[in-house]
Structure 1
């Protein structure tokens, strides 16, 4: 198995990077949709219905598959011999940040359900502040992997 992973390493890494890009795009965009939804569309009418469709499609068609692919290819990279030095700090900071990113993804999914139910919504300001979280996590992840501190 390790020979297969070593031989396919560049392809697995490329697929991991593509998956991360797709996932991050959704993590950046869905809170923006929530901001516009809560501030302009309200909880009824055609605009509300349109936002619900856009939010659901973004989450189910793009973000969920991208998150699963990111995890799958990331775990394959971790299992590739010689890639991760567990005696260093960087794999642990990256891992914790990826777990936090996954938690944020799940928080966004709950928020979408709140829009569907019409209750438990946050303010536009809260969604704006939460929109910064994936950027902070991305900084930690990229620095961890590139600088390998």
Structure 2
């Protein structure tokens, strides 16, 4: 917690917001009997990097489920490592699925642009053919 002994209202409000944020971070941290883990997500404003924060959030949700026991309980250390690997693989698969969907959308857009350009090219070739025929005909 942050504690300032200032009488300035703005400082007190800022301090309250910091404390509120710290409380939220503590509430969202992973608690175990021996440790506490805090995960902080840094979101990228670039839409091309959208899969990264999504993967982090998915990992966060799965890790909380493991720590809080909402998923299958871990019986031994080897099983725990397998469970962690499964979570990591699931997260990577989700990120790859997201990336594949993005590539498919880009591919459809490129295909549509290609088809439009090809259609315009055929129209131009037809115009050129008509102009050539007009020039070749005797007047």
Compare relative contact order (CA 8 Å, sep 6+) and give the higher one, 1 or 2: 1
Q: Which has the higher helix share?
A: 1
Same fold (TM over 0.5): no
TM-score (norm 1): 0.27
Larger radius of gyration: 2
